[in-house]
Amino acid sequence: MTYTVNKSEEEWRELLTPFEFSVLREAATERPGTGALLDEFRPGKYSCRACGAHLFDADTKFESHCGWPSFFKAGDAAVELIDDYTHGMVRTEVRCANCGSHLGHVFNDAPQTPTGQRYCMNSASLTFTPDPR
């Protein structure tokens, strides 16, 4: 896929902290229950930490009790889904459609949501902007 934002790995290293780089560019995962955005439920929007592209609206976030921020729907054309067979598992990786950064994984195990999906995202992959009051 051709991304709108194309940077070298060195440019990404200069923009991101070492931990953010490991998650966004090397597909690492933060430990469950440790993400800064896990308990954030104010109105607003979630964007890609690497490039700033809008990914999720806060009204699609729900408490899934999985240890990571969870959403039932991504913005239109905001993410790219890729088959992931790493670590002996079969999953669907979620990447930012704008820059290709790793965000997390999506699972079809949330019957309590309108879509049945659980976008399980790393807080390190996201920024949150609250709605102005």
Is residue 87 one of the residues assigned to a domain?
Answer: yes
pLDDT band at 2 (very low <50, low <70, confident <90, very high): confident
> Which residues, listed in sequence order, are joined to residue 127 by a DSSP beta bridge?
47
List the catalytic residues.
Answer: 120
In a domain, 95, yes or no: yes
Decide if 40 is inside a domain. yes
Query: What is this structure's pTM?
Result: 0.94
Tell me if 13 is assigned to some domain: yes
59: Cβ contacts below 8 Å, ≥ 6 apart: 43
Listed in sequence order, the residues at least 6 apart from 17 whose beta carbon sits closer than 8 Å to its beta carbon are none
Question: What are the pLDDT digits (tens) for 79-114?
Answer: 999 999 988 989 999 999 999 999 999 999 999 999
Whether 29 is covered by a domain: the verdict is: yes
Q: Is residue 4, in this structure, part of any structural domain at all?
A: no
- Residue 57's Cβ-count burial label (10 Å; 0-12, 13-18, 19+) is middle
CATH number, domain at 63?
2.170.150.20
- Angle at the Cα of 118 (from 33 to 105), degrees rounded to 5? 75
Q: Provide the residue range defining the domain that includes 22.
A: 9-130
Query: Following DSSP, what letter does each residue of 1-19 receive, concatenated?
Result: ---SS---HHHHHHHS-HH
Query: Is 2 a member of any domain?
Result: no
Domain count, the chain: 1
> Is 64 within the bounds of a domain?
yes
Give the closest residue to 51 by CA, choosing from 15, 93, 105: 15
- The proportion of the chain whose per-residue pLDDT surpasses 90, expressed as a percent, equals 92
pLDDT at 128 over 90: yes
Confidence of residue 3 (pLDDT cuts 50, 70, 90): confident
